[in-house]
Amino acid sequence: MTDDCENVLVAGCNTCVAVCLTGGEKEAEQLAQQLRIARRREGIRGKVDTVTVLRQCENEYLDAIAVQVEEADIVLSTACSIGPQGLVFRYPRKRVAPAMNTNMLGYVREHHVWTEYCAACGSCVIAATGGICPVARCAKTLLNGPCGGSRNGRCEISPEVPCVWQEIYDRLAALGDLDSLKRIIGPKKWNLSNSGGPRTMKKEGFEP
Amino acid sequence: MKAGSNLEQVLESGVFTVTAELGPPKAADPKVIIDKAGILKDHVDAVNITDNQTAIARMSSAAAARLCIEQGLEPVMQMTCRDRNRLAIQSDILGAAALGVRNLLCLTGDHQSLGNHPQTLGVFDLDSITLIRMVRDMRDGPVFQNGEEITGLAPQLFIGAAANPYADPFPYRALRLAKKVEAGIDFVQTQIVFNVGKFEEFMRQCRELGVSEHCRILAGVAPLKSAGMAKYMKNRVAGMDVPDEIVERMSGAGDAQDEGIQVCVDVIKKVREIEGVAGVHIMAVEWEAAVPEIVKRAGLRE
Ligand code: SF4
Ligand code: SF4
């Protein structure tokens, strides 16, 4: 992808992706180093630089690296996919590519293990499900209890995957609140999710 | 009468009811349905037409249901939430009702990763419970899911669901069925019963919750074909509970198919004694020919 570019800039992002050990300063530097070696082996001329900002999801941080961006023929962003799109927005003439595949909003359940916890569905139900999300964590986004495939706390899709409805059941049982499982939830308003089209949020009273 | 289907009439009359299963082919050939319907027709009260069962693409259940009606066999059309959103489900319900379908079984559906198109998008706009509520409202409102009135003929459907006494968490299973009753089901077919003891306990909980008063419960049963199938179901199939003693019976049998039929007949005789069991649902997948023999040996057509 960068073969035809003389100057490559790897742009790191030092917040979420840094704590996920995927796209912070250190990982951006590692990627740059791998690229340098590969490019040297292929006999490609030019240089690979790095720059890392605190957050690639805000204009002011992207504006601060204008000099480095202008100098590069391509910018590889190691941020979540908001980063490369922010760069495209700020630098409309620049070639930009993602260096990461963004796959979820996760929680660090154990060290080095990230688990999907939220699908940003726009109409949060977890107040009714023991504070545990069945939209992101049930393979069928079920809102009304475990399907017939739940077995020994595992999901029907794989013994590796926990059944989140077992977790919800256990928690509500421990809280003595199994009655809340009797309530019918839904049908869900999917129009509030990405299915209703891309969403924007404005915070009143914070206009510049 | 809510829908006036044959299944509803038989169940309401108090006669011990028999349903079976008919899987549509992975092809466009109507003859497969016609032949299977011919085998089952005189032995059961209605037959389930599966809907892309185990997430494998097959002839549509509505079309297969119509072919069945033409053969004089009443279909129970299955409808899952996996492949259609509420728009598609409602339109298929109107279409199926127009073609004469009078029973609908509302299911969540197996996850698409278990089938033959694992890369597809799973829809799950609704789940089985919100699907049941929607179908009931289409019949009794009559309104669409959005609350808009159905001004013409409303779909007259006898509404069913599935229940699995062998899934976890066990204490929730009867509660879940109670929730389906509240959502609007008229009947339920259970997962295949091999472990009768656990099923009895499930039925006790159902009676306690008043479930068996408000909906007719058909116990799922099935003939095993071989000892290998018994072991496979025991170890590999999600949500199945095959006790060791049945695996042993199958392993020790001279004629495995005959023994499989006998095991099934024995289960039928036991579940028939349980208070609140209104009939059986015989799941002889790709072995329709076993159904007449099971019905005969179990004395279900006297
Ligand atoms: S219900 Fe929606 S918003 Fe709430 S945690 Fe789940 S996906 Fe996120
Ligand atoms: S087994 Fe549990 S997590 Fe998996 S689809 Fe069923 S309810 Fe959802």
**B229 in a structural domain:** no
Give the model's pLDDT for residue A142.
98
Is residue A2's pLDDT more than 90? no
Nearest CA in chain B to A153: B168
User: Which residue segment(s) compose the domain that B156 sits in?
Assistant: 6-223+270-285
Q: Name the closest ligand to CA A166.
A: 2
User: Residue written as tokens 């009078």?
Assistant: B102
**CATH code, domain carrying A85:** 3.40.50.2300
Which residue among B113, B145, B168 sits closest to A187, beta carbon to beta carbon? Answer: B145
C-beta atoms surrounding A196 within 10 Å: 11
Per-residue pLDDT tens digits for B78-93:
999 999 999 999 999 9
**A83 shares its domain with A13:** yes
Give the model's pLDDT for residue B286.
86
Q: Name the closest ligand to CA B176.
A: 2
Alpha-carbon gap, residue A146 to A164, rounded angstroms: 8
Nearest CA in chain B to A144: B129
| Chain B partners within 8 Å of A188 (Cβ) | 125
**A72 shares its domain with A127:** no
Which of B82, B121, B127, B195 is the best substitution to test chain A (most A C-beta atoms within 10 A)? B127
**A25 in a structural domain:** yes
**A151 shares its domain with A72:** no
User: Which residue segment(s) compose the domain that A155 sits in?
Assistant: 123-184
**A207 in a structural domain:** no
Alpha-carbon gap, residue A105 to A117, rounded angstroms: 6
**A112 in a structural domain:** no
**A168 shares its domain with A94:** no
Is residue B153's pLDDT more than 90? yes
Is residue B302's pLDDT more than 80? no
**B260 in a structural domain:** no
**CATH code, domain carrying B211:** 3.20.20.220
pTM for this entry: 0.96
Per-residue pLDDT tens digits for A42-78:
999 999 999 999 999 999 999 999 999 999 999 999 9
Assess contact for B46 and B76: CB atoms under 8 A. yes
**B214 in a structural domain:** yes
**A195 in a structural domain:** no
Exposed, middle or buried by CB within 10 Å (0-12, 13-18, 19+), for A126? Answer: middle
Residue-wise over B218-236: b if at least 16 C-beta within 10 A, else e?
Answer: bbbbbbbbebebbeebbee
**A92 shares its domain with A138:** no
**A132 shares its domain with A85:** no
**B163 in a structural domain:** yes
For chain B, how many structural domains are there in total? 1
Assess contact for B92 and B79: CB atoms under 8 A. yes
Per-residue pLDDT tens digits for B65-121:
999 999 999 999 999 999 999 999 999 999 999 999 999 999 999 999 999 999 999
**A20 shares its domain with A79:** yes
Across the interface, whether the CB atoms of A184 and B82 are under 8 A apart is answered no
Backbone region of residue B122 per phi and psi (left: phi > 0; alpha: psi in -120 to 50; beta: other values): beta
**A129 shares its domain with A171:** yes
**B21 in a structural domain:** yes
Across the interface, whether the CB atoms of B126 and A156 are under 8 A apart is answered no
**A108 in a structural domain:** no
Helix/strand/coil (H, E, C) string of chain B? CCCCCHHHHHHHHCCCEEEEEECCCCCCCHHHHHHHHHHHCCCCCEEEECCCHHHCCCCCHHHHHHHHHHCCCCEEEEEECCCCCHHHHHHHHHHHHHCCCCEEEEECCCCHHHCCCCCCCCCCCCCHHHHHHHHHHHHHCCECCCCCECCCCCCCCEEEEEECCCCCCHHHHHHHHHHHHHHCCCEEEEEECCCHHHHHHHHHHHHHCCHHHHCEEEEEECCCCCHHHHHHHHHCCCCCCCCHHHHHHHHCCCCHHHHHHHHHHHHHHHHHCCCCEEEEEECCCCCCCHHHHHHHHCCCCC
**A91 shares its domain with A144:** no
Q: What is the ipTM of this complex?
A: 0.95
Which residue among A157, A166, A184 sits closest to B113, beta carbon to beta carbon? Answer: A157
**A161 in a structural domain:** yes
**B101 in a structural domain:** yes
Assess contact for B142 and B159: CB atoms under 8 A. no
**B75 in a structural domain:** yes
Q: Chain A: give the shortest CA distance to residue B301, in Å.
A: 31
**A90 shares its domain with A152:** no
**A11 in a structural domain:** yes
Supply angle C-alpha B196, B242, B240, rounded to 5: 95
**A83 shares its domain with A37:** yes
Give the H or E element holding residue A47: strand A47-53
Give the model's pLDDT for residue B238.
74
For chain A, how many structural domains are there in total? 2
pLDDT confidence tier of residue B282, bands split at 50, 70 and 90: very high
**A159 in a structural domain:** yes
Two structure tokens written together for A54: 């605190």
**A61 shares its domain with A139:** no
Q: What is the mean pLDDT of residues B171-184?
A: 96
Q: What is the mean pLDDT of residues B213-238?
A: 93
Residues on chain A bordering chain B, Cβ-to-Cβ distance under 8 angstroms? 139-153, 156-158, 163, 166, 169-170, 178, 181-182, 184, 186-188, 190
